[in-house]
Amino acid sequence: MPLFAVICRDKPGALQTRLDTREAHLAHIRDSGIVSMAGPLIEEGEMRGSLVILDAADLAAAEAWAAGDPYGAAGLFDSVQVTEWKKVIG
């Protein structure tokens, strides 16, 4: 299956929303079975976004995963980009 990068940028000043929703977000990652790797984007020492690599059937499946992320439902994100990604190194 192809890989997809989900790149999310938090709204300014939304760290508490991220912290309050973190456990639900991590459960979504665990339960989906398609996350290859994931972690927060860090700016000035603070979590301010997310990078998630999905091993999904197609773009529609990757977009559906992103749409179901509890962070998104909580209104955390300023922007979400889902794009096919090709692993070359690592």
Q: What is the CATH number of the domain that holds 81?
A: 3.30.70.1060
Question: Given this model, what pLDDT does residue 90 score?
Answer: 85
CB 7 within 8 A of CB 48: no
Three-state DSSP at 37 gives strand
pTM of the entire predicted model:
0.94
Question: Given this model, what pLDDT does residue 71 score?
Answer: 97
Does residue 90 lie within any of the structural domains? no
Q: Which residues of the chain have pLDDT under 50?
A: none
Compute the C-alpha angle 37/33/28, nearest 5°. Answer: 80
Does residue 8 lie within any of the structural domains? yes
Q: Show the tokens assigned to 59.
A: 């773009």
Per the structure, how many domains does the chain have?
Answer: 1
Q: What is the pLDDT of residues 39-57, one digit of tens each?
A: 999 999 999 999 999 999 9
